[in-house]
C-alpha cells in the first residue's frame, strides 16, 4: 500500500500528514497557523462557548481570557481560583478545574460561582486539572498532583492515588481510574460511549468504554505518547498536545503532526462553525482554520 505524505510549511512551523487515504485533509486549503495573542505566563484550558468564543486560562496570572473570531481577546475574570482546564455545560456555564482550593467549580456568565466537587472519601482533591462533560451532564475530571507555590510548603497530597473521577448527574463523585502515574488530558466522543485519557508521565493514551452508570471498562492502549490537553473532531480524530500537536484517527493511527512555535498545552475547536483549531501554548495562543470541525 502506498503512503501519501503531505508537507506544508507554515511560517516557521510545519504541518505534516501521513495517511493511507490521499483524500484525507485536515487543514483548510491555503490556511496557516497564526498567533492570535501573546504576553501571557502560561495559557491552558481552552473551551468553546455556545456562541463560538473560546475561553482560556492564564493560570499563573489567575485570569480567564476570551478569544473572539473577530480577532479580539478580552479578560473575562481577573480572579478565577487558579482555573486550569475548562468546559462549557449545557446551560452555557463555564465549569473549571480550579486548584487554588483543589476543587471543581462553575462560573456563570455574570461571574457568579458555585462548587461542584472538592473532596472524595473525606479528603480534599489533589488539584483537578482537566475535564470533559458527557452528553448526560456527568463530568469526568483528572486529579493529578502538581505542587503549586501558592499552596505553601505545608500543603500535602491528600488523595491516596492520582486518579480520574466521575461526577454523576446526581452530584456523587466516583473514582473511575486509579492506576495511572499522572492523569492529565481527557476527552470523550460526542455519543458518550468512549473516553480517552492521558497518563502523561507514562507517555500513554488509554481508551475506555463508558458504561451506563459512568464507570469505565475495556481499557485499551490508544497511543504511545502522553498529552497535556486533548480534543476531538467530527471525524473521530483525537488531537494531543505534547512537544507538538499529534492527530490520531479513531483506529489509533497517527495521521498528522502540527508544529507550534511554543510547546502546546491544550486545544479545542472554536468559532461559530467550530472549524478553527485554537491552541494554547505557554505565553501565546494560536489558531488554524480546519476542514474538520469540533463536536
232-264 confidence digits (pLDDT tens):
999 999 999 999 999 999 999 999 999 999 999
* Residue 226 pLDDT exceeds 90: yes
Convert the pLDDT of each residue in 148-207 to its tens digit. Answer: 989 988 889 999 999 999 999 999 999 999 999 999 999 999 999 999 999 999 999 999
CA distance 200 to 131: 15
First to last CA, the chain: 31
Task: Please report the sign of the dihedral spanned by the C-alpha atoms of residue 106, residue 187, residue 185, residue 37.
Answer: negative
Could you identify the residue written with the cell 493514551?
Answer: 205
Q: Can you tell me the mean pLDDT for 63-85?
A: 97
pLDDT band at 24 (very low <50, low <70, confident <90, very high): low
Fold of 34-289: Neuraminidase (2.120.10)
Res 14: pLDDT: 52
CB 78 within 8 A of CB 118: no
Contacts 24+ apart (CB under 8 A), 55-64: 55/86, 55/88, 55/94, 56/86, 56/266, 56/278, 56/280, 56/285, 57/83, 57/84, 57/86, 57/96, 59/83, 59/84, 62/100, 64/94, 64/96, 64/107
The domain ranges of the chain are 34-289
Which SS3 state, helix, strand or coil, does residue 67 take? strand
Q: Give the containing element (helix H, strand E) for 39.
A: strand 34-48
Is the full-model pTM beyond 0.75? yes
Q: What is the largest CA-CA distance in the chain?
A: 59
Amino acid at each position: 500500500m502506498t503512503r501519501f505524505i503531505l508537507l506544508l510549511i507554515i511560517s516557521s512551523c510545519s504541518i505534516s500528514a501521513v495517511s493511507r487515504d490521499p483524500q484525507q485533509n485536515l487543514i483548510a486549503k491555503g490556511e496557516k497557523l497564526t498567533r492570535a495573542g501573546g504576553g501571557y505566563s502560561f495559557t491552558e484550558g481552552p473551551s468553546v462557548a455556545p456562541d463560538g468564543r473560546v475561553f482560556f486560562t492564564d493560570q499563573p496570572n489567575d485570569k480567564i481570557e476570551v478569544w473572539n473570531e473577530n480577532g479580539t481577546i478580552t479578560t473575562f475574570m481577573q480572579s478565577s481560583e487558579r482555573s486550569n482546564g475548562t468546559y462549557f455545560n449545557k446551560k452555557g456555564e463555564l465549569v473549571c478545574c480550579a486548584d487554588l482550593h483543589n476543587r471543581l467549580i462553575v462560573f456563570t456568565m455574570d461571574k457568579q460561582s458555585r462548587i461542584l466537587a472538592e473532596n472524595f472519601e473525606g479528603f480534599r482533591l489533589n488539584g483537578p486539572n482537566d475535564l470533559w462533560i458527557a452528553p448526560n451532564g456527568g463530568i469526568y475530571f483528572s486529579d493529578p498532583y502538581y505542587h503549586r507555590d501558592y499552596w505553601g510548603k505545608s500543603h500535602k497530597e491528600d488523595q491516596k492515588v492520582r486518579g480520574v473521577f466521575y461526577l454523576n448527574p446526581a452530584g456523587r463523585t466516583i473514582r473511575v481510574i486509579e492506576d495511572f502515574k499522572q492523569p492529565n488530558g481527557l476527552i470523550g466522543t460526542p455519543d458518550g460511549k468512549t473516553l480517552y485519557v492521558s497518563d502523561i508521565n507514562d507517555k500513554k493514551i488509554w481508551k475506555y468504554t463508558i458504561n451506563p452508570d459512568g464507570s469505565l471498562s475495556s481499557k485499551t492502549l490508544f497511543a504511545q505518547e502522553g498529552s497535556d490537553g486533548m480534543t476531538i473532531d467530527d471525524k473521530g480524530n483525537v488531537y494531543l498536545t505534547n512537544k507538538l500537536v499529534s492527530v490520531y484517527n479513531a483506529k489509533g493511527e497517527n495521521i498528522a503532526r502540527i508544529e507550534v512555535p511554543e510547546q502546546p498545552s491544550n486545544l479545542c475547536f472554536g468559532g461559530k462553525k467550530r472549524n478553527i483549531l485554537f491552541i494554547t501554548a505557554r505565553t501565546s495562543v494560536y489558531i488554524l482554520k480546519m476542514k474538520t470541525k469540533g463536536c
